Amino acid sequence: MKRLRVAVLISGRGSNLRALLEAAASPAYPAEITLVLSNRRGAGGLAHARRADVPTAVVDHTAFADRAAFERAMEAEIAAAGVEAICLAGFMRRLTAGFVERWRDRMINIHPSLLPAFAGLDTHRRALEAGVRFTGCSVHFVRTEVDSGPIIVQATVPVLPGDDEERLAARVLTAEHRCYPLALRLLAEGRLTIVGERVEISDGRAPDTVAINPMP
């Protein structure tokens, strides 16, 4: 089986990277992580990659005069690794339109909300302030506008009485660790078709239950 060659871009602890590495450790998984690239030398996620014997690279954005030069250096590392698709996993740099277009429909991202709700930063605080009963996470194809693009996978997480940002974030993160490997598997298996700006999934199934919070 030919496996999709994937680079994961990180800036921090690499929690979702670890979930992807664990999934890709199985020979039956249709994608392999061939590069973990960080814009920060101290990113904790680099240690996860090294323990998994996955090549790493650091391209420090502060060493470049502009974003275009920074991205050229990243793309040189990506090309050298023979990468076919990119996963953003806590990568905290805004990408240029040129970079996004070159990887159009081959680059995915995970966001800790049910997009299009609460795009951007401070998602958990904003969800709590809004009084929503459910929040969650979304994996989507990347477009030039932040946290936009066709949605591949979503998971709902209930907001519980007494929740604060930390407790809610931990519950959402558990869902993220399930959603990201699933979304990458669907991409690697060639089961995703973008129609307009919607994703259609071949042989996809959806739950037929209704979630209610609070329970009656």
Residues carrying an active site annotation: 111
Contacts (Cβ under 8 Å, ≥6 apart) of 138? 110, 111, 113, 114, 115, 151, 153, 154, 179
Q: Where is 101: in which H helix or E strand?
A: helix 97-102
Exposed, middle or buried, 107 (CB in 10 Å: 0-12/13-18/19+)?
Answer: buried
Nearest to 173 by CA among 116, 113, 121: 113
